[in-house]
């Protein structure tokens, strides 16, 4: 099986710089990807920090089930019911994700299902899924 790095950070000294724990872009070389629907916290009465932890923990569980991990996430989209929660969310997000951070969008919405303060969806590479579901590369010199 080809074990080549599947993710690479896209940045430029000439271009914009990120203003938080995210990459401006991630290049992916992969045949298998995981697309997770927006994940919500189950306890919407918690603080934004606790809701963020619960959502990312849920994402991690789903990715591990598919043979992947948080380190394979290439893109997240974060929906906040209140943009005033951005800094607190960012503090927790930075604990779970590391350099090169996934590319990321964060938007404020008027409301989220079940009264949640946050919802996160993501896209990840699926190396583990590739190993389970795809045939090995017979002519791979990498």
Active site residues: 106
Cis amide leading into 12 (omega within 30): no
How buried is 130 (Cβ within 10 angstroms: 0-12 exposed, 13-18 middle, 19+ buried)? buried
Residue 127, SS3 per DSSP: helix
Question: For residue 52, which of 102, 117, 141 has the smallest C-alpha distance?
Answer: 117
- Reading the block at residue 84, the tokens are 């005033």
């Amino acid at each position: 099986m080809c074990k080549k790095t599947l993710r690479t950070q896209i940045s430029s000294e000439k271009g914009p710089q990120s203003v938080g724990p995210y990459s401006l872009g991630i290049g992916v070389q992969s045949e298998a990807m995981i697309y997770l629907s927006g994940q919500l916290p189950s306890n919407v009465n918690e603080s934004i920090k606790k809701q963020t932890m619960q959502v990312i923990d849920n994402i991690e569980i789903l990715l591990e089930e598919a043979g992947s991990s948080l380190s394979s996430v290439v893109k997240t989209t974060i929906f906040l019911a209140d943009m005033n929660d951005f800094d607190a969310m960012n503090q927790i997000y930075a604990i779970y994700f590391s350099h090169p951070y996934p590319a990321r969008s964060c938007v404020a919405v008027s409301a989220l299902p079940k009264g949640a303060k946050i919802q996160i969806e993501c896209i990840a590479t699926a190396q583990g899924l590739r190993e389970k579901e795809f045939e090995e590369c017979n002519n791979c010199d990498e």
